[in-house]
């Protein structure tokens, strides 16, 4: 898969062979799926900008996600389709 972050442990992959990254270490905008709890996260580039006026959410404990798209504004049907194609759990 060409999308996603480069993680410190390149061997960390889910059963589908997609790269897993820790949510708190996401550095690229896009849509990320938490494969354990079937959640999606939309991360626009603005939120990753260090000069952004808002606060970046940090989750404790950290968890792993898979990047499925570089476009954080995909509609839910498109997200479901990507998850189906990549054999990932479909977020609710």
pLDDT string in tens for the chain (92-residue length): 334 433 344 446 665 668 889 998 899 999 999 988 999 999 998 888 877 766 666 777 889 999 999 999 999 999 999 999 999 988 87
Based on its alpha-carbon atoms, the radius of gyration of the chain, rounded to whole angstroms, reads: 13
Which bin fits 87, alpha (ψ -120 to 50), beta or left (φ > 0)?
left
- Structure tokens that stand for 15 in this block: 């059963």
Strand order in the sheet with 21-22: 21-22, 64-69, 30-34, 39-43
CA nearest 86: which of 67, 73, 72, 71?
A: 67
């Amino acid at each position: 898969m060409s999308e996603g972050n480069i993680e410190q442990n390149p061997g960390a992959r889910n059963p589908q062979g997609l790269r897993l990254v820790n949510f708190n270490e996401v550095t690229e905008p896009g849509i990320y799926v938490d494969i354990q709890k079937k959640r999606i996260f939309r991360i626009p580039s603005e939120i990753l900008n260090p000069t952004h006026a808002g606060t970046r959410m940090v989750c404790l404990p950290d968890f792993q996600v898979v990047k499925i798209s570089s476009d954080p504004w995909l509609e839910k049907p498109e997200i479901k389709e990507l998850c189906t194609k990549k054999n990932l759990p479909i977020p609710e």
